[in-house]
Amino acid sequence: MEKTFSDFKTVTGSKRPLSTNHLKSLLNMGLVSHSDEGGYELTQRGRLLVRTLALMSEALEENKLMR
């Protein structure tokens, strides 16, 4: 799902210079890319990372409940 820079800034709640630096880092790591329409979208690598983090979070929550 494509997002604009404004969307990114709103979701993160950060100011423009910080958002710009984070977005550049995500681009450099290959986690997001520029879309044809001028926005940004997760790459396959970015989607894999998000899924992995979601699974890890779920596992940690289950571990907390078992204690």
Q: Which amino acid is at 5?
A: F
Tell me the whole-structure pTM to 2 decimals. Answer: 0.68
Predicted local distance difference test score (pLDDT) of residue 10: 74
- Residue 30 or residue 3, greater confidence: 30
| Longest CA span, the chain | 48
Predicted local distance difference test score (pLDDT) of residue 14: 67
Closest CA to 33 of 2, 58, 8: 2
Dump pLDDT digits (tens) for 4-60.
767 766 777 766 677 788 888 999 999 999 887 788 888 999 999 999 999 999 999
Closest CA to 4 of 29, 26, 34: 34
Predicted local distance difference test score (pLDDT) of residue 28: 96
- The answer for residues whose C-beta is within 8 angstroms of residue 29's C-beta and 6 or more apart is 45
